[in-house]
Structures are given as C-alpha cells and as structure tokens.
C-alpha cells in the first residue's frame, strides 16, 4: 500500500473554501465534529445586540444543545467572548436544555488554550481545532478536540463528610418502604462486591466496599419509589437494553455519567436480573478505573 502525503490548506487564505462552505459541510454531516449524534437546529441565529451565532446543534434526544462558533485562522479574544456570550444567551433563554459552548478554529494558540482552560472550570466548553486537507482533487475537514467539557469527580470519593445522616433521617425524608428498596439493591450487589454496605449521605444513599466509598451507583428514595442512578457511559446499546425492559428513566446525567431509573418494589422484583447485570457492569468499570 502506497503512502500518500496529505497537504494542509489554509482556509483563512483560501478564496472559495470560506465560512459558508464550512457551515454547509458541517450541516450536511454534523457527526464530523465528534460531538455525538447531533442535528443542526439553526444557522446564523440572530441574537439582538450580540450578532449571529454560527450554528446551533442539538443532540438527537433533544436534551443537549451546542452553541458553535467558527473562526478561520487562529482564535482571538473576541472569538472566545462571542462564543461564551452566545452560550449564555441561549442557556438563559432555553434553560430546559443542557448547553455547551463550542469554539472551532484553525489554530488554537497556547495563550488562548490557557484562557479557555480557565473558563472550562465553570463553563461547559469544547474547543475543536480544524484542519483542511487536500485529498487528490478534493478537500477533507478534520476536527480535533483540544479542550473537552470538564469531567466532575466521582460522587463522594474526595468530599469530607460534614453532615452526619442516618437511615432514620432518610426514612423520615422519604418513607421506610422506599428506603427498604435500597436494601434490596444492596442484596443484589453482594454477589460481586465483597464487604459492601450502604452509606447514608445528605442527598443520596451510596455504597462502601470494605469501608471505602465506591459509588458505582447511588440511591435516592422518594415518597413512593426510588431513583437508582447507575454510573455507566451513555451508549446506544445500553439505551436499547433499558428501553427494552420498559423501565421508567429520567434524563441521562451528563455531569456524572449516570443512567437514572425510577423503581418501585414491583418493578425492582420484576427486573432484578437486569438491574443486577447493570450494577455488576458499573461496579467492575468503577473498580477498573
């Protein structure tokens, strides 16, 4: 097989490969950005007094939105500010979605990479470096993720315990029957987790394994049911399996990468083998990390 050298093209200096052309390429196939299964919601979206947002993308499930700004050549301060401004406008206008700012530039300089990194501590922001490559008589766009959305730490692993919470507190907050569902999940977990026990916290019930917090799942008893949150990455295969069981699910928690399943005593008994498989998979993944 013969090696073919690829030649980079400067889009900023090119006469015909301009921003509208790039917009159309992305619109024709948004998957090239590497943001998952997304669709184009709007282009050149007018923001009164703030200009036009290049592209607004939305994930296929209709939960997350991406405010995308494209810059030919190297990024600059106005580009960063403009991107964050559009993100802020959209999140305030449509708070029901998870919003992420996306900066695309041919060159993301080290100076502004540091600035973007600082913003990323408090703003969900992705930076993509764009390259145009000559492939025979055609041109290919390549997008490389330089900065990703900040991933949060594992729940309760590094946090000091400042508030002492007991089982009685949870039974008062929810009710004894829904708290008892946590016991059933604990029993399901014992075959694959040695010395496992429940850990009562202010906002959830987690797990300790041999005295150490290992929250591969968390439990939130409510008045008539329990919310089971399982730490697994979101995939089409897992989505299909959960949907196939007919379980009631809430919006996937992107911040902590957790599936959220609402369970009653009847549903837990009916689907215990499936829940066991999910718990075991999450536990093995947690222990391997």
3-7, 35-39, 127-131, 248-252: the lowest-pLDDT one: 3-7
pLDDT in tens, 213-227: 899 999 999 888 999
The yes/no answer on whether domain 7-147 falls in CATH 3.40.630.10 is: no
168: pLDDT confidence band, cut at 50, 70 and 90? very high
pTM over cut 0.75: no
User: So what's the pLDDT on residue 158?
Assistant: 45
Name the one residue in this structure whose structure tokens are 């100076």.
Answer: 111
DSSP-assigned letter for residue 165: -
The pLDDT of residue 152 is above 60 = no
* Inter-residue contact 69 to 102 (CB < 8 Å): yes
- Level-2 CATH architecture, domain 167-288: Alpha-Beta Complex (3.90)
For residue 187, what is the enclosing H or E element? helix 176-189
The pLDDT of residue 87 is above 50 = yes
**Domains of the chain: which residue ranges?**
7-147, 167-288
pLDDT in tens, 114-145: 776 666 567 888 888 888 888 777 788 888 88
3-class SS of residue 127: strand
The pLDDT of residue 160 is above 50 = no
User: So what's the pLDDT on residue 119?
Assistant: 65
The pLDDT of residue 191 is above 80 = yes
């Amino acid at each position: 097989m013969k090696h073919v050298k690829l030649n980079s093209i400067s889009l900023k200096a090119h006469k015909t490969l301009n921003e509208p052309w790039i917009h159309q390429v992305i619109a024709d196939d948004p998957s090239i950005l590497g943001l998952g299964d997304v669709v184009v919601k709007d282009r050149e979206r007018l923001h009164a007094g703030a200009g036009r947002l290049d592209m607004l993308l939305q994930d296929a499930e209709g939960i997350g939105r991406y405010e995308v700004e494209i810059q030919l050549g190297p990024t600059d301060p106005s580009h960063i500010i403009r991107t964050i401004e559009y993100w802020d406008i959209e999140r305030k206008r449509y708070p029901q979605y998870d919003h992420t700012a996306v900066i695309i530039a041919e060159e993301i300089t080290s100076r502004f990479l540091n600035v973007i990194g600082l913003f990323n501590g408090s703003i969900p922001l992705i930076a993509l470096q764009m390259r145009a490559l000559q492939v025979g008589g055609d041109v290919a766009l390549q997008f490389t993720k330089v900065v990703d959305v900040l991933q949060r730490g594992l729940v309760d692993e590094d946090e000091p315990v400042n508030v002492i919470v007991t089982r009685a507190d949870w039974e008062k907050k929810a009710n004894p029957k829904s708290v008892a569902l946590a016991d059933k999940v604990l029993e399901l977990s014992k075959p694959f987790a040695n010395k496992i026990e429940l850990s009562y916290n202010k906002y959830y019930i987690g797990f300790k394994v041999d005295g150490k917090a290992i929250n591969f799942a968390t439990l939130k008893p409510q008045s008539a049911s329990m919310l089971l949150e399982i730490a697994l990455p979101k995939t089409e295969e897992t989505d299909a399996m959960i949907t196939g069981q007919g379980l009631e699910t809430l919006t996937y928690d992107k911040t902590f990468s957790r599936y959220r399943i609402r369970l009653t005593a009847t549903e837990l008994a009916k689907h215990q083998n499936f829940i066991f498989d999910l718990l075991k998979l999450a536990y093995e993944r947690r222990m391997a990390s």
